[in-house]
Structure 1
């Protein structure tokens, strides 16, 4: 086990919104804006993909993995419960967007990239997919969680939620190439005008890519391609 770390930096303190092992993608620990853009309040956004004990996102590979699209059900993240990362009030929900096939192959990714412009023109729903926005206690910070599985939202606008409450199931809706969770903090619940805010995650275990052992972290940001597992608060 490597030493505990937790830099004394400013940010919105939240919990990892799931159980089990998930790999970090597009982490603001690597670059800001994390997704290469400030659009839709995503400056400090972070993505998580569920993995197994061998840190694989799907059980196996086939010819479709290399040449075509794949069913989202093949991926460990698809259908996994997503939990409220903090207490607050639900201020927006969106459902009804379809779950796409997943894309790992270069041919499938190339064709998907050509459709990016049309999704942006269709607006927030086509980009974020099925999503929930929570206004944290105090009303100055808003959390967006996106790409839920169609038809699995368990909360409604105006509902108060507590940390750890089941919000919906992970899916592959919106601008998503494989099932994952997109999470961000913002200064507004309106994604079209929101500005992103940095987040600090509460207690978790982190296996860094290419490093042996794990770290225990608190009030920190997971590194790019690290695998994380939430821990119970002390």
Structure 2
């Protein structure tokens, strides 16, 4: 297993950790696409909550712009060179309650369609020893290009709801090469520590 790489938080404000290796490995229930140590970060408001759940949201899909973090800036967590940048995928509706059940049943078909169907809009940063991956970005929000050098805190794009996503969030992972079909997962820490599952994380930059 590759040595862990230490990253800066790729955002400002408050985000809720989900699907974290602090809870289980592989964190997303699969070793495919080098996702064993990936973390999902859900942006929340100042009270630590996402969009309120109503009776309507339990039975119907919702617009992603109802959610507090949709469009929130996503920042480079490491110094490196951009080796992939994609933001052509649309942001789809949010699925909670009953709609999430139907959406879950289509997940296997998305996996068979390949990486982009799962990751949606994404950026890869080659940090020299590890490639850092940020997924589910907002359509047309990516503001970096392949070959561009970035430093921690540089803006990459905005939080969206593209790819395999039930609500706006950021998927963060590290791998040993840019070819996701052949890559192996690389563990990572965030400023020296791994946020425990379900804990609201404050980047300290607010």
Work out whether the TM-score is over 0.5.
yes
Q: Aligned residue for 2:64?
A: 72
Q: What is the 5 A alignment of 1:43-62? A: 43-58=36-51, 60-62=52-54
SS in 1 for 2:100: helix
- Where structure 2 has 5 or more consecutive residues not aligned to the other structure, the ranges are none
Structure 1 runs of 4+ off > 3 angstroms? Answer: none
Q: What TM-score results when the alignment is normalised by the length of structure 2?
A: 0.95
The equivalences for 1:71-110 within 5 A come to 71-105=63-97, 107-110=98-101
- Determine if the alignment matches structure 1 residue 120 to structure 2 residue 111: yes
Residues 164-183 of structure 1 show CA distances to partners (whole Å, capped at 9, x for unaligned) of 00000000000000000000
- Please tell me whether residue 162 in structure 1 is matched to residue 162 in structure 2: no
1:69 aligned counterpart, secondary structure: coil
Greater CA drift, 93-102 or 20-29? 93-102
CA-based RMSD of the aligned residues comes to 1.1
Q: TM-score, length-normalised on structure 1?
A: 0.84
Aligned-residue offset at 1:71:
0.5
Q: How many residues align?
A: 203
Distance 1:231 1:108 in 2: 35
Q: Which residue of 2 aligns with 1:5?
A: none
